[in-house]
Chains A and B, each alone.
Chain A
Amino acid sequence: MVSVEAPSDRDSLMGKFSTWFGGEDSTGFILKMLSPVLFIFVVGILFPLVYGVYISFFTFPKRSVQVYVAFGNYVALFNDPEFWDSYVNTILFTVITVSLELVFGLAIALLLNKEFKGRGIVRAAILVPWAIPTIVNARIWEYVFGATLRSPVNDMMYRLGMIKDPLVFTSGRDVPVNVLEVLFTVAFIATFLASAYIVYINISNNGIHDLDFTRKELIILGTFVLSFIMTIIVPNKAYAASGLFGFTSMSMERDWIVIITVDVWKTTPFMALLILAGLQVIPQDLLKAAEVDGANAWQKFRNVTYPLLLPSMGVALLFRLIDAFRVYDIFAIFETDGIQSITKFAMDNHTRGRYGLSSSIAIFEFMNIIVMTVVVMTLTRRRTDQ
């Protein structure tokens, strides 16, 4: 690049500008090119942010009247049990959905990490949940979990003899949840997938005639068979038996099942895509070398794939954590009276005209996200240094 020293007017403001933005003859060009982004930054970020902090010290008894209350909004906020409720809900939502998405996403990415016929179809299918608006997604699942036998989940549970009356998933009422039943179903699905994968790995490594399972794998296979049997036997009797164990039956605040399903369905594919991209960067020679050294599939994953995957997985995790913590759509769409996310709580206060209070909630949320970002970044960075 041609670099001509700027003339000696460095004491003037324009001179300072030119040292910040280049000190070359292109300074004018750079400034002109950056001016839209600087404008957006000042109008769209800097001013609202400063103004947001400012109005969090005021209350608005009327739209046009503002009263200075110092830290009154923050005090009111931290004394509000509803706020802590929404805070806990948001954390719960973030932890549950992100961990589920991470596990499912990793599984899908590991599965798809090879050349095969029909890759394009799979990629298109994977993008569908990501592309459609959350509201569409929520409406679909609302119907799936509908409160009558006209909707599939209740109908299927009825057909299987698990229920006599349709369960209400999205009505603001508590739903009785049979913990045993849920545990067995989860164990059934998880171990079923795990067993099939184990058999698949074994066949592709050893052949069909000399299957050679390790003890860990046998435990998983056994759990699958056991949970399969239990899922068939238990449901019909669990309701009768739930009185025996206090813990087997508890009530769950209404739409958690639906809310988690909606979010997991929407973002698992996205997570899988990000992790898959990270996987494809891992050099194949390393895996081959490990294979030559006699590492099995798990050891290869644990000692080669996982450490190399961690940085890109950290980025994906960070994006998802921030996004999940800011969740609004799902909680707003279901018009949940019982459970709110922190953003929903802020927006509700906003629509009631409590701009100061909602601004203080927003700033609290932002602080949380900054802390979260710093924690995740230091954690993943330290691991990669090893």
Chain B
Amino acid sequence: MTTVDRSSAKVNDPVYGEGYQERKMKELISNIIFYFFVFIVVMFCSLPFIWAIGQSFIDSNALGTRHIYFPIKSDQFTTFNYEFVLNPARGITVAMLNSFIVASITTVLCVSIGASSSYVLAQFDFKLRTGLLGLILSMTMFPVVVIIVPLYVEYLFLKRQAGIELINSFPGVILPYIVFNLPLTVYLLFNFFQEIPAELVSAARVDGASDFQIFRKVILPLAIPGVFTTAILVFIAAWNEFLIANLMLQDVDKRTVPVALSYFQGIPPIGVIMSQNLARMAATVVVTIPLIIMVLLFQRQIVAGLTQGAVKG
């Protein structure tokens, strides 16, 4: 009774006005349809991965001839797939360590090289400035093969002539990684450094600071958010890279995650029934977890970094 009274009061209320109920209804329905679409988008993006997580917990002994959907029953549940994948003999854990080393070194080098050069390009005016910037940015266009094929032949030559082993070694991979991540790094940091007011630099100079001191003590602390965003993007790119790693790192103990995963067959030890796919799903989940955590923690920075290029063109 009371609810009826209240709503009829609202219809006559000058604040809510006539047709309040209808407007309310209209809003509700359009909201429902809107969130239905949003739900589709979220499912489109995340369902395959969530499904893979689910599959990775299925006991292969419970696997019949048909597909097992959610929810997984308790007698079908197992963590054996993960024990299998995390066994060092499978090479996935080693690969994750390798990937971490390669990606970290690449990130540090790339960001420091990028920061020093883009600061100069952004804050100083000299003749070759635009040309140099254009040159670095045009490196985005380069297909990887154009660089990697001659680089490989160079490495072979170096090995033969000087005994320097660059194939199957991390430095040999890190050099091309830096090359291919440098354009993005310079572009992002260039935009960032440009926004730092020039008065700050000249004020520091009046105080008698040298150029290096200004860069280290004034500019870098200000640029930490931009550097951080760039570092995340470079790290993810280096972690995920496949072509160069597949060519250069063929030794079992040198493989990075994508290479190791491409060789991972999920063939079980004798006496254990296991579907190849279930073990593979466990492996994909293990390998992806660090990235997912990064994405969840730093989504704001990642989106900012990714979209900067598009908006400013």
**A interface residues (Cβ-Cβ under 8 A, vs B):** 1-2, 19-24, 26-27, 29-30, 33-34, 36-37, 40-41, 43-45, 47-49, 51-52, 54-55, 63-64, 108, 111-112, 116, 118, 120-129, 131-137, 139-144, 146, 148-152, 154-155, 193, 196-197, 199-200, 203-204, 207-209, 265, 268-270, 273-278, 281, 311-312, 314-316, 319, 322, 325-326, 328-329, 332-333, 343, 346-347, 350-351, 355, 358-359, 361-363, 365-366, 369-370, 373
Contacts and interface: CB of A to CB of B under 8 A. Distances in A.
Nearest to B185: A37
B277 A146 contact: yes
B127 A208 contact: no
A123 B240 contact: no
Contacts of A19: 127
A51 B154 CA distance: 9
Contact of A44 (B179, B240, B284, B291): B179
A132 B306 contact: no
Contact of A135 (B69, B261, B307, B313): B261
B296 A124 contact: yes
A116 B202 CA distance: 44
A366 B200 CA distance: 43
Contacts of A315: 309-310, 313
A134 B52 contact: no
Query: Which of the listed residues A132, A133, A148, A269 has the most CB atoms from chain B within 10 Å of its own CB?
Result: A133
Interface residues of B, number: 106
Contact of A63 (B25, B117, B156, B287): B156
Contact of A45 (B49, B147, B246): B147
B13 interface: no
Contacts of B240: 131-134
Nearest to B201: A1
Given A136-B284, A369-B141, A346 B149 contact: yes
B236 A316 contact: no
Contacts of B66: 149-150, 155
Nearest to A46: B135
A44 B178 contact: yes
Contact of B149 (A24, A52, A122): A52
A134 B311 contact: no
Nearest to A104: B44
The binding surface of chain B is classed by DSSP as: helix
B34 interface: yes
B229 interface: no
A121 to B, nearest CB: 7
B143 A40 contact: no
B29 interface: yes
B179 A128 contact: no
B147 A48 contact: yes
Contacts of B76: none
B226 interface: no
B117 A208 contact: no
Contacts of A358: 145, 149
Contact of A207 (B22, B67, B146, B310): B22
A11 B23 CA distance: 80
B145 A346 contact: yes
A368 B295 CA distance: 34
A197 B150 CA distance: 52
Given A152-B67, A155-B67, A281-B311, A140 B30 contact: no
A231 to B, nearest CB: 18
Interface in B166-187: 175-176, 178-179, 182, 186
B281 interface: yes
A22 B311 contact: no
B41 interface: yes
Contact of A127 (B52, B142, B295): B295
Interface stretch (B1-9, B78-86, B118-126): B118-126
A314 to B, nearest CB: 8
A204 B142 contact: no
Contacts of B156: 63-64
A21 B135 CA distance: 15
